[in-house]
Amino acid sequence: MLLNGHLLEIVLVSFVLAGCARLLWRFYSQYLGRSSALEQSHILARVSGFVVLALVVTLMARGTVGHRPLNPALVYFSTDPLVNSLTLNSIYSVAHAYKQMGDEKNAAKLYGQMPEEQVIELVRSSTRQPLEAFQHPTLPTYHARSPLYQGRPKNLVIVLEESLGAQFVGSLGGLPLTPEFDRIQQQGWSFKRLYATGTRSVRGIEAVITGFTPTPSRAVVKLDKSQQGFFTLAALLQQQGYETQFIYGGESHFDNMKSFFLGNGFTDVVDFADIENPDFVASWGASDGDLFRQADRELSQLHQQGKPFFSFIFTSSNHDPFEIPTGVIEPIEYTDEQLAQYDENELRRHQAIQYADAALGDFIATAKNRDYWDDTIFLLVADHDAKVFGRDLVPIDNFHIPGVILNADVPPRQDPRIVSQIDLAPTLLSLMGVENRSPMLGHDLNDSAAGGRALMQYANNFAYMVEDEVTILQPGKPPSFFFYDYDSGTLSPKQPNLGLADTALAIQLWGSMAYERGWYGTE
């Protein structure tokens, strides 16, 4: 991946390191004096010793000769956290926990203080739930919501598409790279103005699987205090008799996913080692086509067991260095003007998106002919956009992502409301016929009055958008206020809206409080 996507950086860093080594060599030669002829005769031994030492130090830093560097999730295999902890070196565990503490930024230190009572009041109001619904003695936002669907509870399959921003989806005004997704959107409940909460896959997992609001810290998937007892869809559904499963074409310990999932409701993890006879293996693991074929086998088997199930499928083919099977897709033809806009790496990205789209289309077409289809709700959604950058404090247009719910006993429609990733989990539970007892702040979009706001974390900046009004929080500065033009994707300054600023601050402070104080657990 580094060679294909970051060759220039590797060359520049190598030259800088070589230059530093040369300067140090000259300095120490002058300081220690020239070597004797006998000492110079051993230069080969010295160089050999240095190479061996460098290799040993590198291996010690990685902790493994495997594909990914060492992390605790590499050795996790059980849903029992105590059993998993027995496999870890205690000194490493302490060092890892100390490092994690540095990732747990406190929102109050960045954005300012607010009384705890006011924080709780404002975040409760933001859910659109009646205040009397919040009765739990220790979890301030824990409440119950009755589902829209009242029949036999349905299965759930979530497909999280890697790096698929709206800028690459033709039906959302992007490049014509996703004909399959465009066609599928016409068959279900699709969201025209859905916004990711962040710019990393773990942030997308955090929002879609847990409904947790974004914070300036790293996503809870990677933080220490959320590795067990943290609310997830899997934890809720497991309590109601569901089989819960994570399916991934790569190595599930990457980004600490395996640890987080096994500690929070997922009972089965299917990753690269479990993919049967993959046709194409890339740097990130099995291709999306192989992943979906394995997923179809897993879903068919779960259906045969006669128990309800929840499967979370995470793709990877649309990821740098964009390695895909040959002969599967026909690259689109560009005009000379278009070709001038894209470098070679971007053209490879476009082909990877085309391949990922084709693989997704094949999977949905296959699923429609399976026995599990009629009893299963599908959510197809991106984790985040690619290439998130710009001069705006928060480049809102680069948080725009596609999403569609299929097979939910609702007529196909194009939903124009502003929707956040954190709204998807409550909406799915309602469509499945599962009572939602949780601390989630997201809206159930089956309510026509719900939606209308989105939350976006961009490094240390946080945007809270309500319709076309945007409040942006920055560290150590007063809030900034803007209008957002959806058509042009631009922000323009506006007069302050102190009410929205208070709600934005409360949501940010609540995330840090909920994590630190264990407010985001299951009952």
Angle at 212 between CA 209 and CA 218, to 5 degrees: 100
Largest CA distance in the chain: 89
Q: Is 402 exposed, middle or buried (0-12, 13-18, 19+ CB in 10 A)?
A: buried
Q: Which range among 28-37, 274-283, 379-388 shows the weakest confidence by mean pLDDT? A: 28-37
Helix (H, G, I), strand (E, B) or coil at 489: coil
Residue 96 has pLDDT above 70, yes or no: no
pLDDT band at residue 53 under the 50/70/90 scheme: confident
The structural domains of the chain, with segments of one domain joined by +, span 107-517
pLDDT-derived band at 41 (thresholds 50, 70, 90) equals low
Which pTM value belongs to this model? 0.85
Q: Rounded to 5, what percent of the chain is helix, strand, coil?
A: 45, 15, 40
Tell me, what's the pLDDT at 38?
A: 46
Mean pLDDT of 440-454: 96
Mean pLDDT of the chain: 89
Q: Which residues contact 399 (CB under 8 A, 6 or more apart)?
A: 195, 196, 197, 199, 384, 385, 388, 454, 456, 458
**For residue 473, what are the β-bridge partners?**
462
Whether 106 contacts 395, CB under 8 Å? no
Peptide bond into 325 cis (omega under 30): no
- Please name the helix (run of DSSP H) or strand (run of DSSP E) that holds residue 229, with its range, or none: none
pLDDT at 293 over 90: yes
Angle at 423 between CA 421 and CA 427, to 5 degrees: 125
Fold observed for domain 107-517: Alkaline Phosphatase, subunit A (3.40.720)
Measured CA to CA, the distance from residue 282 to residue 351 in angstroms comes to 15
d(CA 73, CA 269): 12
380, containing H or E segment: strand 376-382
Answer for the pair 248, 285: CB distance below 8 angstroms, yes or no. Answer: yes
pLDDT recorded at residue 388: 76
- Residue 329: band (very low, low, confident or very high) from pLDDT cuts 50, 70, 90: very high
Tokens at residue 428, please?
């799915």
Distance from the first to the final alpha carbon of the chain: 43
User: Is the pLDDT score of 65 beyond 70?
Assistant: no
Q: pLDDT tens-digit profile of 358-401? A: 999 999 999 999 999 999 999 999 999 997 777 899 999 999 99
